[in-house]
A and B are shown apart, each in its own frame.
Chain A
């Protein structure tokens, strides 16, 4: 219930932001960007900063698609999808990067399918970890990607 309210608020503030942005009056930095999480040097700090907890249950219902061996660490394709119910966000972590948290995708609208694909940088051979928030719980899964030439 609280979450639903928060969502409405988030939507509302975004819509207001878009109206201002549409006028192109002044460029604006993303005030909501979670610096504490994205600049964290370890995974627990990043996860707690972003999701409020670093305790996630390992789930093989999270599918991570990425190459077993990435020759170029600067461009590693990663696809994450899950059949878990009520997914509200998917976050991608590269375990050995200096700043491990790569990206977080928040599904504002329930029509969005829990699927994201992007390309990330990896410093060295490491686990790509996907953290999924479904309902009030966190789930995660990992896939090891061997990196030939680091890309950070």
Chain B
């Protein structure tokens, strides 16, 4: 079960990919208001975007990206039905990936 939602839409020759990931994105500097304990860092470090199995974009993030991250990018040359894959890996080594088709 993956918590990544992807929407990829072709308009003209440009495909716009929008995705929402489900992740706490703790930067490791916040304190729990009740216990005064620092909440350990837990954030996505790498996001890889593939089109038809080929990496087109990859990104590296810090804990400064908002909780439940949103990412949008565009590329040329896609076709309806092409497969988009988004995969992330966080600082604890957890990872998720999801695929969707261009509509």
Contact = CB atoms under 8 A, between A and B. Distances in A.
B54 A118 contact: no
A94 B64 CA distance: 9
A28 B95 CA distance: 8
B92 A113 contact: no
A38 B85 CA distance: 25
Contacts, number: 141
Main secondary structure of the interface of A (DSSP, over half): mixed
A14 B49 CA distance: 11
Interface residues of A, number: 44
A103 B63 contact: no
A4 interface: no
A78 B50 CA distance: 22
A29 interface: yes
A34 interface: yes
A125 B69 CA distance: 21
Nearest to B46: A30
Interface string A87-114: 0000000100111111111111101110
A29 B89 contact: yes
Interface in B41-74: 45-46, 48, 50-51, 54-67, 69-74
A109 B69 contact: no
Given A27-B92, A99-B64, A115-B73, 20 more contacts: A18-B55, A21-B97, A29-B45, A29-B91, A33-B46, A74-B66, A76-B66, A101-B64, A103-B65, A105-B57, A105-B59, A108-B57, A112-B56, A112-B75, A117-B73, A118-B65, A119-B65, A119-B69, A120-B66, A152-B30
